[in-house]
Amino acid sequence: MFSLSTTVALFSVLTVAFGQSGPWEQCGGQGWTGPTTCQSGWTCTYSNPYYSQCLQGSNPTTTSGGSGPVQTGVLATAPTTPPSTAVGKLPALGWNSWNAYRCDISESKVMLAANAFISLGLKDAGYEYVNIDDCWSQKSRDSNTGRILPDFSKFPNGINGVASKVHALGLKIGIYSDAGTQTCAGYPGSLNREKLDAQTWSDWGIDYLKYDNCFVPGNWSDASTPPNNDWYNSNSAIRYRYMTAALSTVSRVMQYSICIWGNAHVWEWGGRVGHSWRMSGDSSPTWSYLTSIINLNAGRLSSTKFYAHNDMDMMEIGNGALTIQEQRTHFAAWIFMKSPILLGTDLTKLSTTQLNIIKNKELLAFHQDTTVGDPARPFTAYSGMPSTSPPEYYSGTSSLGTHVFIINTSGSTATKQFTFSNVPGLGTSGSFRLHDMWTGQDVSGTFSASSSFSVSVASHDTVAYRIIKV
């Protein structure tokens, strides 16, 4: 007999083949270019103008949505509390349950991931957050207290029980909710219940909140541009600002992840409200997703700094049919753009090669640098360089020096090159050595500022170098 997770995985393969979205997957919304129908037994259910999702059985009531009226009078009283600076200086490293298990989540699966952090050396590499996504709660709140209740069939010891076990391993735990009336899978949302829910999570020992964007009442949507074109004062931002304020009132410090899918110009205000913010819809284990999110984020990198990170969504390493080269690029791009890295697979099934990718010490050191918070940015690597989408050449600095990252976006092996004097910050004189961050070995030879370096890069692969001045 198939388990739910096995059945969902099988349906996902079949629905991809027939051009349909699988269980709980996105099936519509502004800018959505994927399937717009769901497998048999699942209905494409409207949530808001930006998101429709495949839900099963008796679907939650949705709002009529569209460009509803603005919330009159809310702006004058909206909180302006900034996010905590006691956490979130560096982009998060951890794991999230959604990509691996969807709604088939349980205490045993959370603890499987937490224990894998220890046995696979991920904790030693810096990974710390073990995050529970949607479907962890009961469908109704406690009738007396109004609090969200865990689904005790999935979490027999409650969320506080699993939190205690995760903390005993020296790790941190995250939870999921929604800045709407319901979560994307139809469980209780936290809109208008922010203080109560923040206190509940604090009582349970929660360290991280992923806050989604489904089932938003029409009067909380943005009819047009906000007052003075300031998106910090949009209805969308204000919904998330209420949770920022609520989190500031509880004793437990939580990292705050704004899951708003790149809507409402979030990169303009996200750093004033949370520690990271999603830049797009849900990830998928495809090369097309990787290139699209890299390209999108390449134009928004000025928003990323200490305590503020563009979120390119959860890792797909170990999922789908990504080649090893594509998985290297997946990891490297999240690294050099300083996106949060939340692994999203059954960690016990990762190969040695995949583990070596996600535990690479030198790449993680760039990502977790406590001296330099800026990401790498596109640069013109040599005279006459053609433009590509996404950009292929990036440079950035760390406490160890200057770095160059090169993606081969073509479908075949290609020679890539850069001139040292073109790398920002190196200048037009001096001599340099080149260090391969993947292998931990120096490249043979010494280079002058006017020298060009060429390397053969496999299709969809990424090379990473640190430049050492000699």
Tell me the two tokens of residue 336: 């050099």
Residue positions annotated with a catalytic role? 212, 282
Residue 202 near residue 252 (C-beta atoms within 8 A): yes
Cα 448 from Cα 446, distance rounded (Å): 7
Indicate the residue type of 35.
Answer: P
Read off φ and ψ for residue 199, nearest 5 degrees.
-65, -40
Tokens for 421?
A: 């004097």
Token readout for 293 is: 């999110």
As a whole number of angstroms, the distance between CA 94 and CA 341 comes to 6
What does the alpha-carbon distance between residue 272 and residue 231 come to, in Å, rounded to a whole number?
A: 11
